A = this chain, B = another copy of it.
Amino acid sequence: MSRSAKKEASRDALLNQGVSMLMRQGYHGTGLQEILDAVNIPKGSFYNYFDSKEDFGAKVIQHYVDPFIAQLTTHLRYSETDALDAIQCYFDELVTELEKNDFQGGCLLGNLMGEIGDTSLLCQQSLQTAVTRYRDLLQSGLVKAQQQGTVRVDKSAGEMADLLINAWQGGLLRAKIEKSSGPVRQCCQDLLGDFFRPLTSASR
C-alpha cells in the first residue's frame, strides 16, 4: 500500500468514526482522544490530517452527507417512471435504518446545526453547503414527480423540498426522544402522501 493511500485510509477512518461519535454525543461532547483511540491513531497524528477540531467537524459534515446524496440519487435514477415513489422508498429506507439503530443519533446535520450552528463559522458554512446539496437533489426529484403528474404543480418543488426536509428534521428529533419511528413516518405520510399530491376530484 502506498504511502498516500494509507494516509487516505486513516483520514477516512477518522471521518467515519467522527460521523458516528459526533452524531451520538455531539460536537463538544466528543473529545479528539476518544475518536483517535477508537481507530487506533496516535494523538499527535491528528494534526497531520486536519487543521483543527473545527476543521475536522466541517469535513465530517461533508463526509456524512455524501452517502445520503448517493442513496437518493440512486433511487431517483432507477425510477424514471415514478419519482415520487422513489422518494418515498428512499425515506422508507431511512426509517428502517433509524429503527435498526434504536433511534439513536438522528441526523448529524440537524444536531450540529442546533449545537454549533452559530458558534463555529467554519462548520456553519459546511452545514450550509451540505444542506443545500441535499435540498437541491430532493428538489430535482420533486420536479420530476411534478412532470409525471404525481405531485401538485401549484407549489414550487423547491418550497416542497424545504418543507419536507424541515419536517423530517423535526420529526427525527421527536423520534429520538420518544424512541419511536412514529414521528418520521407520520411526517412522510402527511407530506408525500397527502400535501404534495395534486388535487383531484376524488381526493380528500
Q: Which residue of B lies closest to A187 (CB)?
A: B166
Taking the complex as formed, is A190 at the interface, i.e. its CB lies under 8 A from any CB of chain B?
Answer: yes
A187 partner residues in chain B, CB cutoff 8 A: 162-163, 166
A121: min CB distance to chain B, Å = 10
Q: Which of A50-58, A84-92, A167-175 forms part of the interface with chain B?
A: A167-175
A63 within 8 A of B: no
- Assess whether A173 is in contact with B204, with CB atoms less than 8 Å apart: no
A196 to B88, CA, bound (A): 22
> Which of A26, A154, A170, A191 neighbours the largest number of chain B CB atoms within 10 Å of its CB?
A170
Q: Is A119 in the interface zone, CB < 8 Å from B? A: yes
Residue of A104, A115, A116 with most partner-chain B CB within 10 A: A115
**B115 near A111 (CB under 8 angstroms)?**
yes
Complex partner residue of A173 from B104, B117, B171, CB under 8 angstroms: B117
Which partner residue on chain B sits nearest A109 by CB separation?
A: B173
Determine if A115 and B26 form an interchain contact, defined as CB atoms under 8 angstroms apart: yes
A166-B170, A169-B173, A190-B163 given; A204·B154 CB < 8 A: yes
Instruction: List A residues 125-143 near B (Cβ within 8 Å).
Output: 127-128, 131
A10 part of interface (Cβ distance < 8 Å)? no
Q: Does the CB pair A104–B118 fall under 8 Å?
A: yes
Q: Which residues of B contact A195 (CB under 8 A)?
A: 195
Which of A's residues lie within 8 Å of B, judged by CB?
24-29, 103-106, 110-119, 124, 127-128, 131, 152, 154-155, 159, 162-163, 165-171, 173-174, 176-178, 183, 186-187, 190-191, 194-195, 199, 204
Please name the 8 residue pairs, one residue from A and one from B, whose CB atoms are nearest each other, closest first: A166-B170, A169-B170, A28-B28, A111-B114, A113-B173, A167-B167, A26-B115, A28-B29
